[in-house]
């Protein structure tokens, strides 16, 4: 149902109010009437108005003073004001009206056609604002529903997946039949890939739903990198991933989110780099920024490179990937949340190099700060 649009008329002479009300009468417009400044302020506390038409010459609080009160309140500071006056045209009074926040200044007797054409503009603007507010509320509901769906799916999928992975682990380790053990290993690998897919979908839902909260604290990137590398070494063996540090790698950032960055970049190098080739994780500390550089052998095809950070991208050997093509997209969004960014370069000679640059103190580029946390809407 369409909400009525309110227009406020303020005049100390009742006949003037009646004439204005008659001039503005239309089905989609609700006219609020006040015969003094204080009465008008009371109405402004109750209603959201699209326009205020104020008489300048009123006893007590005149139109200019009322306008100053309106401009001083966050609730009414945005309300456009048209001044009406029966006084002869005076340049100084006109300037004072505009200084008080007027969008127009009309003199009595006014032409009702001119007044209505001006009012129509503000009615259209208010209607557009209402439509945008409705669309925004609908989008927010969809985002909330999507996030809830992802959370439920994540929880419900993880429970059977954990049982599948545990059973596969048992088959691969303790069953003597080599064929059965191999089947168990393949089942475990597929289960772990499904877990990563679920995690990526949940991360994407949180990012696009504006539910990722940045919690900066002191983080030693070298320690963080080594912890993630150790997790991967438990799966792929030692001696393939090397961590190198140059300079000071301590910064103020969200360690949990940066753990995802390391995991995504190293996982990407393992999945798409040359089989068995070494992977370098270099950490370089500068005066203002710290860089995370992950390099692996193998070249990204030129046609893939321009869209490498797009969600659900079609990357190298995507059909063999351990995810949905969201890891690099999430990596870029996390870097930008900190006020940094990520870039990639790739060639047959140097291989593929992803470089994430982060400020030593997180400089969020968007979002609202809430004491010790910052929440972001990204997409």
Q: Is 312 left (phi over 0), alpha (psi -120 to 50) or beta?
A: left
Instruction: Give me the pLDDT at residue 178, please.
Output: 86
Domain CATH code at residue 357: 3.30.565.10
Q: Which of 108-112, 117-121, 294-298, 327-331 is predicted least confidently?
A: 108-112
Give the domain-ending residue among 95, 110, 125. 110
- Identify whether residues 97 and 223 lie together within a single domain: no
Same domain, 231 and 359: yes
223 and 344 part of one domain: yes
pLDDT of the residue at 200: 66
Q: Is residue 98 scored above 80 in pLDDT? A: no
CA distances (Å), 274 to each of 10, 243, 270, 314, 355, in order?
Answer: 77, 18, 8, 18, 19
> pLDDT averaged over the chain?
82
Domain boundaries, position 300: 213-376
Q: Is the pLDDT of residue 69 over 70?
A: yes
Between residues 13 and 157, which one has the greater pLDDT?
13
In a domain, 203, yes or no: no
Last residue of a domain, one of 75, 110, 145: 110
User: Taking the model in full, what pTM does it have?
Assistant: 0.52
Q: Of residues 153 and 304, which shows the higher confidence score?
A: 304
Residue 252 falls within a domain, yes or no? yes
Token pair for residue 149? 């769906």
Of 264 and 203, the structure prediction assigns the larger pLDDT to 264
Least confident of 22-26, 145-149, 203-207: 203-207
Do 354 and 237 reside in the same domain of the chain?
Answer: yes
pLDDT band for 293, please (50, 70, 90 cuts). very high
Q: Do 102 and 218 fall within a single domain?
A: no
In which band, very low, low, confident or very high, does the pLDDT at 110 lie, cut at 50, 70 and 90? confident
State the average pLDDT over residues 205-217: 71
Q: Residue 120: pLDDT above 50?
A: yes
Q: Which among 55-69, 92-106, 193-207 has the top mean pLDDT?
A: 55-69
User: Does any domain span residue 125?
Assistant: no
Domain count, the chain: 2
**From edge to edge, which strands make up the β-sheet containing 102-107?**
29-34, 5-10, 49-55, 81-85, 102-107
**Average pLDDT score over residue span 198-218:** 71
With respect to residue 368, please indicate whether it lies within any of the assigned structural domains: yes
**Residues 220 and 75 placed together within one structural domain of the fold:** no
R_g of the chain computed on alpha carbons:
32
Q: Which residues contact 81 (CB under 8 A, 6 or more apart)?
A: 51, 52, 53, 54, 67, 70, 100, 101, 102, 103
Flag whether 127 is in a domain.
Answer: no
Q: Which of these three, 62, 93, 110, is where a domain ends? A: 110
The reply to whether 256 falls in a domain is yes
Is residue 315 pLDDT above 60, yes or no? no
The mean pLDDT value for 191-209 works out to 69
**Is 70 exceeded by the pLDDT of residue 121?**
yes
Q: What is the Cα–Cα distance from 362 to 343, expressed in whole angstroms?
A: 18
d(CA 40, CA 33): 8
Q: Please report whether residue 64 resides in a domain.
A: yes
d(CA 5, CA 287): 56
Q: Above pLDDT 90, what percent of the chain?
A: 27
Do 104 and 217 belong to one domain? no
Residue 32 resides in a domain? yes
Cβ–Cβ under 8 Å, residues 286 and 247: yes
CA atoms of 206 and 240, how far apart (whole Å):
33
Query: Could you tell me if 82 and 219 lie in one domain?
Result: no
Could you give the CA distance from residue 48 to residue 357 in angstroms, rounded to a whole number? 46
Cβ(55)–Cβ(10) below 8 Å: yes
CATH number at residue 99: 3.40.50.2300
Q: 76-80, 182-186, 222-226, 369-373: lowest mean pLDDT where? A: 369-373
CA angle 177, 179, 184 (to 5 degrees): 95
């Amino acid at each position: 149902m369409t909400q009525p649009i309110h227009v406020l008329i303020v005049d100390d002479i009742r006949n003037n109010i009646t004439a204005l009300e008659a001039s503005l009468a239309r089905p989609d417009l609700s006219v609020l009437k006040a015969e003094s400044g204080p009465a008008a302020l009371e109405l402004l506390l109750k209603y959201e108005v699209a326009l205020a038409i104020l008489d300048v010459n009123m006893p007590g609080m005149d139109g200019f003073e009322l306008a100053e009160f309106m401009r001083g309140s966050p609730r009414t500071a945005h309300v456009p004001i048209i001044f009406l006056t029966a006084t002869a045209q005076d340049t100084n009074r006109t300037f004072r009206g505009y200084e008080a926040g007027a969008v127009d200044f009309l003199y009595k007797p006014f032409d009702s056609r001119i007044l209505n054409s001006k009012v129509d503009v503000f009615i259209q603007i208010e209607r557009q604002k209402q439509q945008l507010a409705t669309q925004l509320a609908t989008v927010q509901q969809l985002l909330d529903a999507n996030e809830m769906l992802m959370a439920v799916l994540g929880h419900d999928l993880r429970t059977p997946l954990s049982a599948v992975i545990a059973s596969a682990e048992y088959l691969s380790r303790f069953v003597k039949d080599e064929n059965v053990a191999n089947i168990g290993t393949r089942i475990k690998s597929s289960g772990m890939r499904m877990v990563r897919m679920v995690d990526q979908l949940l991360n994407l839902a949180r990012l696009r739903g504006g539910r990722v909260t940045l919690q900066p604290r002191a983080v030693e990137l070298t320690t963080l990198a080594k912890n993630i590398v150790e997790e991967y070494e438990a799966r792929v063996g030692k001696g393939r991933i090397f961590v190198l540090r140059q300079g000071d790698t301590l910064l103020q950032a969200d360690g949990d989110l940066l753990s995802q960055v390391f995991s995504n970049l190293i996982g990407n190098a393992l999945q798409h780099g040359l089989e068995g080739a070494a992977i370098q994780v270099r950490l370089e500390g500068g005066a203002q920024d710290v860089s995370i550089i992950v390099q692996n052998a193998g070249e990204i095809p030129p046609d893939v490179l321009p869209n490498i950070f797009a969600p659900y991208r079609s990357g190298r050997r995507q059909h063999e990937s351990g995810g949905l093509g969201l890891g690099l997209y999430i990596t870029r969004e996390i870097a930008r949340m900190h006020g940094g960014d990520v870039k990639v370069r790739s060639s047959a000679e140097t291989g593929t190099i992803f470089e994430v640059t982060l400020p030593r103190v997180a400089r969020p580029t968007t979002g609202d700060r809430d004491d010790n946390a910052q929440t972001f809407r990204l997409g």
